[in-house]
Structure 1
């Protein structure tokens, strides 16, 4: 009889009775604590159902509310009774009515017998781990928490805020270094007895009574004062989600729990009949020395958290929709945004389609309508070209467009004359490649034949809009692949830029440019820009365009690489 069990119970008494009998049948004495909130009739019935077990005891009841001292008081009461009644114990295991042994108790006892002086308790300082959820880590040890967070949340928050405003800080008892960890521990008799009989226990209890969630810090801290050897891990498999709530294991987790090789798991759904009939597994001598390995479970649950919080790219669900901005991408597949290139090359859309085989749209966010690649009124997936419908939620318009055609690479034109509400979405999307030729809006104005004085106001408006877009793209929050060049820089060497765009869009299917897109005749553009300056409008986004760099540059065919084989 080297292992004793403390069991905390507050609900699902049929399953709790089953677990008590399992521990007792394996030769483990059990002390049960039942929450004082449980009605006396249910408590008496539960006690009566276990009266035939000689090594089962029931301790004095405490009110156990989440995050309060009652949980620690309950374990103290049960531990004191267990150590007094059963002096031959070497280890004490803390469990709950929702815990389920996965391996035979004999294997757990053998594992502990091989480590008689080792305490198994997750214990780490708040400075070393980012486990805390809710914004309080070190402060949970320096402030007072007289109100229960779940029942009196408003009072809890107000009282915490008041202490922060006045700069109040509690004094941590001498020699105590606060540690945190899972509340499910397995301690040696010597360590647990030393904690309960510590001459400073009244000081420690008074301090931890007003600590937030003391069951995750009381034993974790005091074990460091008395233990001879601590392994900072729990022998109980317990997983928590990104909000700090415990994961519940269901029947479909059976294979996962089996692979974990853990001794005990919580929290088990009370109606998971398959789990309760499958576990604990039968004893296997070849498995006797197996170490618990929760790595597989950790990976699966990490993936589940990512799917729960981030979802699949391009898809959204109701529960995640309010937190949509925490995603790094909204599109289901890579896409390209091209600004200014269709101003330089009038037939750019059809030329890029021919070069890459991608779906090259026109201005999807034009003021009049969405210009799809095929100029249809309804695109694949039933997406309308109606500007009013599109602008109702421009982000979801793009999401649906990419999702509906995610088997192809999509490109679309964008510019300062388009609706701009989408710009932050584009800049933050890691799926986006954005190519901007700034100041290209000056070319349509120049080609319109109107004088600089007539287009001055329009040029100033377009430049202001584009400048805001460029500031968004240069923001530290922008995650897209972004390339910005002035009109002057682009027309000096357009072929290199076009080849890079083709290589990125087409990937391994990209070829060297054979057919050059026809550039607009820019003769006279430098004079036009000078006239704008003379009118008081400075087109700084175009760059310094001189007469020489408005000439069309002939392409130089790119040589294909070749390999000389050695025989």
Structure 2
């Protein structure tokens, strides 16, 4: 009888009973501490069920609250009873009711027999701690923490602030070197007995009772005071998420738990039937006897923490949205936005679909509805073409569309007549490629038979919207790939302008594009702009056209495509 267990239990009593009986069946005495908050009737039922096992005892109870001295007090009471009732115990292993042995107790006993004088406890100085999450390091030892962080958060924070402002500091007791580490340890009888029977224990306990989260520092610091040989690592596998809460292990974690070669793991889901059935069976196939090494699975949990903290690129939680600048990618895939080209070319969407493949939508942000490709009214992910639903969350509409169609590159048309709220989002999205010809809306307007005052008002409205659009594309922080020309610049050589864009989107192609769709008649543009100017609407986004009413001389290509 060289190994004993202290078991801290507050819930899942059926599982705690299984684990306690497993340890006792392997000749290991167990002392159980049940949280004082557990109802007397439930505690008595639990105690009665274990009354037939002579190696299982119960310690005096105390109410336990996270982060307070009560956890250390409960551990002290259970440890003292174990040392008193079982004088043959050489090592004491601290575990919880949610812990589960991963290797047979015989292997753990043999391992400790090979290290009879070694204390296994994570114990590092505050200078070397890198795992504290949302907490204090040195100050937990120099300030007082009489209030519960969970129940009295405001009092806790206010009292810390007052102590800082007044420069108050506590004196660390002589002979105590502050160390931190995991709550779960395996100590030799000599070290544990020295801690519990120290002549100055009253003063030490008084000091640590006002330390923040003392279960991570009390035994970790005092072991350094009395131990002759410390290995600063626990034999218990425990992993924590980005919020400092323990990972819960489920049935599908079995391969990971086995790979760690640790002796005990926490925290196990109470309904993980497969894990309990497997690891509490000493007749299972023997595994290699390797040194406990939780580092073997650190990469998996690091990835899990990263995924939980950042999510997948372009995927947003329905429960909360990240603050601007803290997203893990605005969208999940590359996409293209063409502004103005459909005003210049007839059936431009069909031509794009043939050139780029993927799905080419119309104006997704048109005022009346989202113009999905093929005239669809509902897209992947049950996205409706309703303008009201789209405009409620215009950026999420786009990110949802891209997520629901990932694996297929999306392209859509845009213009100053569309809803503009999504423009800043697209501009700072590195997945976006924006191809814009400013002032192209003047082409269909110039051919309109509407009253000129109506045309002039529409031109003014579209130009105002496009000026804001162009200004957004020039602001600092734009991450989209932007190809932008004025109408005059684009008309100088449309094939060459489009060729550079197509090469970027679909890879290098022929030197010149020879299969452009039919271009709308642009010969009336200079005269139209002249009329707008005389009517009081100064053209600002179309580029330089000759003031005499003809297109500026930009070479043969310009004249050819303008006609």
Same fold judged by TM-score > 0.5? yes
Match in the other structure for 1:35: 35
Give, in angstroms, the shift of residue 69 of structure 1: 0.7
Distance 2:156 2:255 in 1: 41
CA spacing shift, 1:435–1:41, aligned 2, 3 Å: closer
Distance 1:516 1:149 in 2: 68
- Provide the secondary structure at the position in 1 that maps to 2:373: coil
Distance 1:219 1:302 in 2: 28
Give, in angstroms, the shift of residue 335 of structure 1: 1.9
- Provide the secondary structure at the position in 2 that maps to 1:7: strand
Distance 1:500 1:138 in 2: 59
Match in the other structure for 1:462: 465
Match in the other structure for 1:559: none
CA spacing shift, 1:171–1:527, aligned 2, 3 Å: farther
Whether the 8 Å CA contact 1:358–1:506 is kept in 2: the answer is no
CA spacing shift, 1:505–1:140, aligned 2, 3 Å: farther
Distance 2:346 2:246 in 1: 60
Distance 1:469 1:340 in 2: 16
The alignment status of 1:235 with 2:235, answered yes or no, reads yes
Give, in angstroms, the shift of residue 106 of structure 1: 1.1
CA spacing shift, 1:407–1:250, aligned 2, 3 Å: closer
Whether the 8 Å CA contact 2:426–2:480 is kept in 1: the answer is no
- Greater CA drift, 277-286 or 181-190: 277-286
Distance 1:369 1:456 in 2: 22
The alignment status of 1:391 with 2:394, answered yes or no, reads no
- Provide the secondary structure at the position in 1 that maps to 2:441: helix
Match in the other structure for 2:434: 435
CA spacing shift, 1:367–1:98, aligned 2, 3 Å: same
Distance 2:152 2:358 in 1: 58
Give, in angstroms, the shift of residue 71 of structure 1: 0.4
The alignment status of 1:220 with 2:220, answered yes or no, reads yes
The alignment status of 1:120 with 2:120, answered yes or no, reads yes
Give, in angstroms, the shift of residue 95 of structure 1: 0.6
- Provide the secondary structure at the position in 1 that maps to 2:482: strand
Give, in angstroms, the shift of residue 273 of structure 1: 3.9
- Provide the secondary structure at the position in 2 that maps to 1:249: coil
Task: State the Cα RMSD in Å.
Answer: 4.6
The alignment status of 1:64 with 2:55, answered yes or no, reads no
CA spacing shift, 1:10–1:379, aligned 2, 3 Å: closer
Q: Which aligned pairs between 1:193-212 and structure 2 lie closer than 5 A?
A: 193-196=193-196, 201-212=201-212
CA spacing shift, 1:170–1:468, aligned 2, 3 Å: farther
**How far does the alpha carbon of each residue in 1:522-545 deviate from its partner, in whole angstroms, 9 at most, with x for none?**
99879969x98xx99795x88899
Give, in angstroms, the shift of residue 411 of structure 1: 0.6
CA spacing shift, 1:283–1:543, aligned 2, 3 Å: farther
TM-score, normalised on structure 2?
0.77
Distance 1:21 1:335 in 2: 60
- Provide the secondary structure at the position in 2 that maps to 1:287: coil
CA spacing shift, 1:346–1:78, aligned 2, 3 Å: same
Distance 1:253 1:203 in 2: 44
TM-score, normalised on structure 1?
0.77
**How far does the alpha carbon of each residue in 1:24-75 deviate from its partner, in whole angstroms, 9 at most, with x for none?**
3323233332323334455455455545555544433322111111001222
Distance 2:115 2:143 in 1: 38
- Greater CA drift, 42-51 or 58-67: 42-51
Distance 2:33 2:380 in 1: 62
Q: Which aligned pairs between 1:49-198 and structure 2 lie closer than 5 A?
A: 49-51=49-51, 53-86=53-86, 88-124=88-124, 131-134=131-134, 136=136, 139-160=139-160, 166=165, 169-171=168-170, 173=172, 178-196=178-196
Of 437, 441, 446 in structure 2, the residue corresponding to residue 444 of structure 1 is: 441
Whether the 8 Å CA contact 2:416–2:462 is kept in 1: the answer is no
**How far does the alpha carbon of each residue in 1:210-267 deviate from its partner, in whole angstroms, 9 at most, with x for none?**
2332212333344445545544432212233443333333445444433443211222
Whether the 8 Å CA contact 2:335–2:410 is kept in 1: the answer is yes
Q: How many residues align?
A: 543
- Provide the secondary structure at the position in 2 that maps to 1:147: coil
Match in the other structure for 1:483: 482
Distance 2:527 2:209 in 1: 78
**How far does the alpha carbon of each residue in 1:163-211 deviate from its partner, in whole angstroms, 9 at most, with x for none?**
56x3655346277665433211123344434544556654543333223
